[in-house]
């Protein structure tokens, strides 16, 4: 049988079982470890997406803050789950995800325990990714010490650990920053801007073309795609439309828009 991701011939022993077949151990090692734990429920098409950008994220990742096994890179909008980071400060296990893939995320205190009038909690991190859909709950820190007050002889009141509080703020800042970035990305590429990009590509013009460049490009295009006397064709319409867009863009640029 063959690995569903790379096509290499594999045996049962040299491969890992996934929802619709098997993949080789080499491919498996390129998928985030935490995802591979659920590999039996995932299809090759889904695993392929995780595998494809894992290297890129690994290269990019640079920790800005950590809470137990949870690390964030506020600059790139990435988060990672790893017990240990390698010499370059990166998670070898490839458990790096982008906030742009997130659908839901939460950090909670679980199972409070009292010891010598001090409350300790486990910190659980949960997240859900879209495309491909994937959910996970991980305890990122055990027995984190909480701010505890003795309210009377038998009761204590407690608040979440200071470190968690701070980390939550940083994580939220990263999410908000990411959201803003996403909105600017969407705004900067309107349909018009996209059409203009296409037109420039068609006429092989750079962004700062002059009117003469545009006219020369149009003449050339018509000579090639629309010889004299061939009437209105699909090609001539495309060329005219692109010319119209670019001429307008040029005028706007002159007016300083
Ligand atoms: Zn493979």
- Which residue from 105, 127, 133 is spatially nearest to 47, judged by alpha carbons? 133
For the segment 210-234, what is each residue's pLDDT rounded down to a tens digit? 999 999 999 888 887 776 667 777 7
Report the separation in Å between the CA atom of 29 and the middle of ligand 1, taken as the mean of its atom positions: 9
Report the separation in Å between the CA atom of 8 and the middle of ligand 1, taken as the mean of its atom positions: 6
Per-residue pLDDT for 7 more than 80? yes
Report the separation in Å between the CA atom of 143 and the middle of ligand 1, taken as the mean of its atom positions: 40
Report the separation in Å between the CA atom of 44 and the middle of ligand 1, taken as the mean of its atom positions: 10
Q: Where in the chain is the domain with CATH 1.10.287?
A: 191-254
Report the separation in Å between the CA atom of 14 and the middle of ligand 1, taken as the mean of its atom positions: 10
Angle 68-71-77 from CA coordinates, rounded to 5°: 155
State the Rg of the chain over Cα: 27
- Average per-residue pLDDT for the chain: 88
Predicted local confidence at residue 183, as pLDDT: 63
Q: How far apart are CA 230 and CA 223, in angstroms?
A: 11
Report the separation in Å between the CA atom of 48 and the middle of ligand 1, taken as the mean of its atom positions: 10
Q: Higher confidence at residue 235 or residue 9?
A: 9
Report the separation in Å between the CA atom of 23 and the middle of ligand 1, taken as the mean of its atom positions: 5
Report the separation in Å between the CA atom of 142 and the middle of ligand 1, taken as the mean of its atom positions: 36
Poorest-pLDDT segment among 34-38, 68-72, 104-108, 187-191: 187-191
* 3-class secondary-structure state, position 238: helix
Secondary structure element (H or E) that encloses residue 39, with its range: none
Q: Higher confidence at residue 228 or residue 51?
A: 51
Report the separation in Å between the CA atom of 38 and the middle of ligand 1, taken as the mean of its atom positions: 17
Site of tokens 């470890």: 33
Query: Tokens for 233?
Result: 């064709």
Report the separation in Å between the CA atom of 6 and the middle of ligand 1, taken as the mean of its atom positions: 4
Q: What CATH number should be reported for the domain whose range is 191-254?
A: 1.10.287
Asked if residues 173 and 181 have their Cβ atoms less than 8 Å apart, the reply is no
Q: Where in the chain is the domain with CATH 2.30.29?
A: 57-183
Average pLDDT over residues 50-54: 88
Predicted local confidence at residue 198, as pLDDT: 78
Please, how many CA atoms are within 13 Å of residue 157, restricted to the half-sphere of its CB? Answer: 3
Q: What is the pTM of this model?
A: 0.68
Average pLDDT over residues 17-42: 94
Report the separation in Å between the CA atom of 84 and the middle of ligand 1, taken as the mean of its atom positions: 26
**CA separation (Å) from 6 to 13, 132, 139?**
17, 19, 33
For the segment 58-112, what is each residue's pLDDT rounded down to a tens digit? 999 999 999 999 999 988 899 999 999 998 889 999 999 999 888 889 998 999 8
CATH architecture of 57-183: Roll (2.30)
**DSSP 8-class letter at 226:** S
Per-residue pLDDT for 186 more than 80? no
Per-residue pLDDT for 188 more than 60? no
> Rounded to the nearest 10 degrees, how much is the dihedral formed by the CA atoms of 93, 94, 98, 103?
-60
92's CB contacts (< 8 A; 6+ apart) are: 82, 84, 86
């Amino acid at each position: 049988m063959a690995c569903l991701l790379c096509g290499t011939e594999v045996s049962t022993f040299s491969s890992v079982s996934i929802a619709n077949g098997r993949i080789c151990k080499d491919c498996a090692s390129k998928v985030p470890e935490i995802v591979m734990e659920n590999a039996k429920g995932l299809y090759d098409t889904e695993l392929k997406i995780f595998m494809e950008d894992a290297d890129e994220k690994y290269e990019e990742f640079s920790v800005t803050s950590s809470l137990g096994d949870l690390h964030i890179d506020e600059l790139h909008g990435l988060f990672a789950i790893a017990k240990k980071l390698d010499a370059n400060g990166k998670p070898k296990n490839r458990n790096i995800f982008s906030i742009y893939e997130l659908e839901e995320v939460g950090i909670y205190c679980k199972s409070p325990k009292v010891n010598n009038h001090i409350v300790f909690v486990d910190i659980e991190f949960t997240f859900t990714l879209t495309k491909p859909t994937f959910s996970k709950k991980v305890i990122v820190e055990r027995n984190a010490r909480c701010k505890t007050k003795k309210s009377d002889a038998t009761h204590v009141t407690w608040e979440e650990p200071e470190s968690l509080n701070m980390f939550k703020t940083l994580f939220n800042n990263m999410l908000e920053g990411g959201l803003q970035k996403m909105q600017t990305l969407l705004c900067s590429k309107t349909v018009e801007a996209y059409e203009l990009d296409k037109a420039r590509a068609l006429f092989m013009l750079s962004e700062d073309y002059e009117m003469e460049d545009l006219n020369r490009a149009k003449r050339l295009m018509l000579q090639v795609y629309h010889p004299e006397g061939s009437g209105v064709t699909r090609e001539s319409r495309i060329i005219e439309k692109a010319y119209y867009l670019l001429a307008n863009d040029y005028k706007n640029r002159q007016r300083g828009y």
